[in-house]
């Protein structure tokens, strides 16, 4: 493919992408293909001789499109969003053109330096404490995903405590043995509703894992008391907590752990590395009204959020800050002869390979830079406030129908978590929308323990009805929602943080929920 063929091909690709975005709202959000759909559509191997772009491009529509789940559709309200925006795509184009594995500064100085600058910009935007800026002992780095970030900091934390125990010994087999013995005592902690990647990171790092309770009664948050208790419980058994994964916005309910109170715990246990996973909700720190959440980070060790969720940047762009960049390089730096150069040796430059698991890395700072500049601070804040407000609107619609729905959590960061009542309660209160802040009158029903026979029967029915409503909506194809189960309660999650989110889609999904719930309840009534 020569330059002029590329020009033609890329123009055609751009038109297809524009057309895709322009029609996103009208496409069934969830793919309806069956497992194995794709293989029969393709030959058994690559062609012997090259094909032209038109032949290849036509297969996008024929082969790929039917198998896509449209994460950018405004009807995608599942998981958390995966944004992609036009300026972000432009960043990917240049990044691919300027391809460099960029494992050290010399590999392509712009890749490293723009990353440092952009991460400092973001630290400012999020009001992170000064200790996370590159001018001191901390700094930020772009990782591929929040899961990579948590493995990276967990390994750094593991080696930090092992070095504190064994650093005085001379290198050699004896030290190695002692380091191994220290490692097997270690236990990583994560909140009960921390992301599964914390446990996965512990598996990768080869250490134990224990979950810190975050029950319904504490709003699914890890409390200082609960954390302290788990730490002491571990210590009493001779195992040593060295890492705690806190969450700012859990996947289930967007709960925020008790940061301010946990600051004191951090001070009491300086060997425990405290990481804050704010993969989704961290974006809200760009809003002054949420920045009080950033202050306690000064007492913790690392913080991570994903630009590729709520912040208008396509996957992958997970931004991680650490308070002591040395902790990363101490654990991860290895410099063989073929990677040495005068700049790295001088210590004046950053070699990000020592801040991450992979050696090579893409030029991901470009797309973040393009997004920040295209939207500006105002545009980013407007996007966040708009989607939060849509979440509040959706919540207010849900509480306007206490006959049908119960809110289990939210509205928080554009997420509402709800169940369908197992039977219709009295008459609907009509379509009157209550203010966003109005509490759900049914909510307290979910604060009990479902221990009596009647309660557990109620829960079983509620779960069955909610699950049926959930499955009917997803199989309908118009919306994609996800569910989650907490303390035995099956719930539906509705997220309105998509860049294309609009009031009409939230009103529509609410109508579909009402319609489906009424249909399911009526059918059950008839079946009695």
Name residues contacting a copy of itself, limited to 183-212 (CB under 8 A): 183-184, 195-197, 199-200, 203-208
Closest CA to 222 of 251, 256, 188: 256
Pairing verdict, β 208-212 and 186-191: parallel
The least distance separating a copy of itself from the CB of residue 35, rounded to whole angstroms, comes to 5
Distance linking the first and last C-alpha atoms of the chain: 67
Residue 82 found at the interface with a copy of itself (CB under 8 A): yes
Other beta carbons within 10 Å of 449: 12
CA 344 – CA 51 distance, rounded (Å): 44
Print the binding letters for residues 415-434 with a copy of itself: x by CB under 8 A, - otherwise: --------------------
Residue among 25, 28, 163, 315 that touches a copy of itself (CB under 8 A): 315
Choose one: 105-113, 293-301, 391-399, 432-440; the region binding a copy of itself (CB under 8 A).
105-113
Please give the sequence-ordered ranges of beta strands (E in DSSP) within 356-431, or none if there are none. 405-412, 415-420
Choose one: 289-297, 337-345, 425-433, 520-528; the region binding a copy of itself (CB under 8 A).
337-345
147 and 201 in contact (C-beta within 8 Å)?
A: yes
List CB contacts of 63: < 8 A, sequence separation 6 or more.
38, 41, 42
What is the DSSP-derived secondary structure letter of residue 76?
B
Residue 93 found at the interface with a copy of itself (CB under 8 A): yes
**Positions in 338-377 near a copy of itself (CB under 8 A):** 338-339, 343, 346, 348-349, 357-360, 362, 366, 370, 372-377
List CB contacts of 444: < 8 A, sequence separation 6 or more.
none
Indicate the residue among 336 and 435 with the shorter CB distance to a copy of itself.
Answer: 336
Residue among 75, 77, 132, 148 that touches a copy of itself (CB under 8 A): 148
Choose one: 179-187, 215-223, 293-301, 514-522; the region binding a copy of itself (CB under 8 A).
179-187
Choose one: 148-156, 223-231, 265-273, 419-427; the region binding a copy of itself (CB under 8 A).
148-156
Pairing verdict, β 240-247 and 186-191: parallel
The least distance separating a copy of itself from the CB of residue 400, rounded to whole angstroms, comes to 27
The least distance separating a copy of itself from the CB of residue 376, rounded to whole angstroms, comes to 4
Choose one: 103-111, 383-391, 455-463, 502-510; the region binding a copy of itself (CB under 8 A).
103-111
**Positions in 451-480 near a copy of itself (CB under 8 A):** none
The least distance separating a copy of itself from the CB of residue 191, rounded to whole angstroms, comes to 12
Peptide bond into 411 cis (omega under 30): yes
CA 165 – CA 167 distance, rounded (Å): 6
Indicate the residue among 113 and 502 with the shorter CB distance to a copy of itself.
Answer: 113
List CB contacts of 225: < 8 A, sequence separation 6 or more.
261
> Given the structure tokens 């039977």, which residue do they identify?
423
**Positions in 12-51 near a copy of itself (CB under 8 A):** 13-15, 17-18, 20-22, 30-31, 33, 35-39, 42, 44-51
Indicate the residue among 206 and 439 with the shorter CB distance to a copy of itself.
Answer: 206
CA 364 – CA 132 distance, rounded (Å): 20
Residue 171 found at the interface with a copy of itself (CB under 8 A): no
Choose one: 65-73, 211-219, 400-408, 421-429; the region binding a copy of itself (CB under 8 A).
65-73
Residue among 23, 56, 217, 511 that touches a copy of itself (CB under 8 A): 56
Indicate the residue among 30 and 222 with the shorter CB distance to a copy of itself.
Answer: 30
Helices (H), 436-487: 453-476
Indicate the residue among 96 and 522 with the shorter CB distance to a copy of itself.
Answer: 96
> Given the structure tokens 């630290």, which residue do they identify?
123
The least distance separating a copy of itself from the CB of residue 312, rounded to whole angstroms, comes to 10
Indicate the residue among 121 and 450 with the shorter CB distance to a copy of itself.
Answer: 121
Q: How far is CA 276 from CA 7, 118, 262, 287, 300, in A?
A: 44, 20, 12, 18, 8
> Given the structure tokens 């390994």, which residue do they identify?
155
Could you tell me how many residues of this chain bind a copy of itself (CB under 8 A)?
147
Indicate the residue among 97 and 431 with the shorter CB distance to a copy of itself.
Answer: 97
Closest CA to 413 of 296, 338, 309, 486: 309
Phi, psi (deg, nearest 5) at residue 293: -70, -20
Other beta carbons within 10 Å of 250: 29
């Amino acid at each position: 493919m020569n330059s002029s063929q590329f020009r033609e091909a890329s123009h055609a690709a751009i038109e297809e992408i524009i057309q895709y975005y322009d029609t996103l709202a009208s496409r069934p959000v969830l793919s309806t293909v069956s497992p194995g759909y794709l293989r029969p559509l393709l030959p058994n191997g690559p062609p012997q001789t090259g094909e032209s772009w038109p032949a290849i491009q036509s297969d996008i529509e024929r082969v790929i499109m039917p198998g896509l789940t449209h994460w950018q559709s405004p009807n995608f309200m599942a998981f958390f969003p995966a944004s992609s925006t036009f300026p972000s795509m432009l960043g990917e184009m240049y990044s691919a053109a300027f391809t460099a594995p960029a494992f050290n500064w010399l590999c392509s100085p712009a890749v490293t330096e723009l990353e440092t600058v952009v991460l400092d910009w973001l630290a400012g935007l999020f009001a992170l404490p000064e200790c996370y800026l590159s001018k001191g002992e901390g700094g930020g780095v772009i990782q591929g995903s929040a899961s990579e970030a948590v493995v990276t900091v967990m390994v750094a934390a593991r080696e930090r405590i092992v070095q504190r125990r064994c650093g005085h010994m001379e290198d050699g087999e004896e030290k190695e043995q002692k380091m191994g013995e220290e490692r097997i005592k270690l236990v990583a902690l994560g909140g009960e509703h921390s992301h599964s990647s914390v446990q996965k990171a512990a598996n990768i790092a080869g250490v134990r894992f224990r979950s810190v309770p975050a029950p319904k009664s504490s709003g699914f948050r890890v409390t200082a008391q609960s954390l302290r208790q788990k730490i002491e419980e571990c210590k009493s058994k001779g195992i040593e907590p060295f890492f705690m994964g806190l969450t700012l916005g859990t996947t289930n309910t967007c709960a925020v752990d008790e940061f301010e109170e946990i600051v004191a715990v951090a001070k009491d246990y300086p060997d425990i590395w405290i990481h804050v996973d704010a993969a989704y909700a961290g974006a809200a720190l760009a809003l002054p009204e949420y920045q009080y959440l950033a202050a306690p980070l000064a007492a913790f060790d690392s913080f991570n959020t994903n630009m590729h969720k709520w912040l208008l940047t396509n996957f992958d762009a997970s931004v991680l800050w650490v308070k002591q960049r040395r902790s990363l390089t101490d654990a991860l730096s290895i410099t063989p002869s073929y990677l040495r150069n005068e700049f790295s040796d001088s210590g004046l430059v950053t070699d990000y390979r020592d801040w991450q698991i992979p050696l090579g890395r893409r030029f991901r700072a470009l797309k973040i830079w393009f997004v920040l500049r295209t939207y500006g601070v105002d545009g980013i804040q407007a996007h966040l406030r708009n989607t939060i407000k849509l979440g509040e609107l959706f919540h207010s619609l849900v509480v306007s129908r206490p006959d049908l729905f119960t809110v289990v959590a939210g509205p928080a960061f554009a997420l509402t978590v709800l169940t369908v009542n197992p039977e219709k309660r009295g008459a609907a209160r009509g379509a009157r929308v209550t203010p966003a802040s109005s509490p759900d009158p049914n909510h307290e029903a979910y604060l009990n323990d479902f221990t009596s026979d009647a309660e557990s029967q109620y829960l079983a029915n509620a779960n069955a009805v909610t699950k049926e409503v959930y499955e009917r909506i997803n199989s309908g194809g118009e919306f994609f929602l996800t569910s989650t189960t907490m303390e035995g309660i099956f719930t539906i999650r509705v997220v309105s943080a998509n860049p294309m989110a609009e009031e009409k889609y939230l009103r529509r999904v609410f109508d579909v929920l009402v319609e489906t719930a009424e249909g399911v309840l009526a059918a059950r009534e008839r079946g009695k």
